[in-house]
Amino acid sequence: MLPSREIPQFQDDADDWLRFLDKAAKGSIKAEDCLHSADLTYMVALTGDPESPNKLDLGEYAEQFRLTFPATPPGNSIHELIERTVEHRWFPHLFCGSETRIHPDADYAQLWKRRRCVQTTALLNDALLHCLEHWAADDCLQCLDEYSVDFNSRIIVSGMLYLSFTWPEEPRS
């Protein structure tokens, strides 16, 4: 699990969870870029090979990812997941989560193109609910495959939550 709100970025300085969420709530392509770079860094952490993004077959990576993905989420309710995000300092304070979605998925699509923004707490709530309800390596991989200028922000944030919750621990020496 990511120990702080810093999101590791492949061959770049770490990004910040709050900045990422703000970009996703606006539909900025920078949020999708951040997820993609974090995914490459995750690949390096999982394989232990800094060259893996350039040489590892994606099918092989997906299989390795599936084998290491936890069987259950790090909480049994949205409230427990919110507590975990605050405990690891991804977000500065608790917020009231909803056990039902705040917005339908379509409300999170093409935000930049439609010149719309969504509230970050609503976006985070719905992404957390998605992760909780669909916890699986294959769902995570689908979220990571979302790559389009007109992406769905809920999918991008769900992908980052999946990565953050399952981030490989550093090997202990």
pLDDT in tens, 78-94: 999 999 999 999 988 88
State residue 173's pLDDT score: 47
Is the model's pLDDT at 21 over the cut of 80?
yes
Contacts 24+ apart (CB under 8 A), 165-168: 165/1, 165/73, 165/74, 165/81, 165/84, 165/131, 166/1, 166/68, 166/69, 166/70, 166/140, 167/1, 167/2, 167/42, 167/45, 168/42, 168/45, 168/46, 168/68
pLDDT in tens, 48-79: 999 999 999 989 999 999 999 999 999 999 99
How much is the pTM? 0.95
The conformational region for residue 51 under phi > 0 = left, psi -120 to 50 = alpha, else beta, is alpha
Average pLDDT over every residue of 104-120: 95
